[in-house]
Amino acid sequence: MERTFSMIKPEGVRRGLIGEILSRIERKGYRIVGLKMLQLTPEMAAAHYAEHRGKPFYTELVEHIISGPVVAMVIEGPGAIAGMRRLMGPTNPAEAPPGTIRGDLATLIGENVIHGADSEASAQREIALYFKPEELI
């Protein structure tokens, strides 16, 4: 059993896609063990995207993720880290196949509606950024 971190980005919330995205995760068979809607501060966004600091898209990335409320979640299931990445599809929605969240619901790389941890280490780090242990069921 594995736990991963995922986040519905501001455009996903604005576009009314919370239910659609949660539904896909639940239908897959994963268990949502932590869930909260929140507005990130610039400091939280910098911590979230620390690995991308210095990259050409970093400033836009941080401005975008703080542009409105997001939905943060912890997802549990066998192979959930890689499994959520497959459910999301590739980073660029233009390359994401139909059937994936990004392939079906997004067109732009900067507005790809969902974030997902990319490794065991990222999953643990990101879960700890957003959730206290007692907030997970």
Strands 70-77 and 114-116: what pairing? Answer: unpaired
SS3 115: strand
Q: To the nearest whole angstrom, how small is the minimum distance from the Cβ of residue 57 to Mg ion?
A: 12
Binding residues vs ligand UDP (CB under 6 A) = 57, 61, 91, 109-110, 112, 115, 118
Q: To the nearest whole angstrom, how small is the minimum distance from the Cβ of residue 96 to ligand UDP?
A: 10
Closer by beta carbon to ligand UDP, 18 or else 61: 61
Q: To the nearest whole angstrom, how small is the minimum distance from the Cβ of residue 137 to ligand UDP?
A: 26
Q: Count CB-CB contacts under 10 A for residue 51.
A: 11
Q: What are phi and psi of 15, to 5 degrees?
A: -85, 0
Closer by beta carbon to ligand UDP, 30 or else 81: 81
Active site residue 115: yes
DSSP symbols for 86-105: HHH--SSGGGSPTTSHHHHH
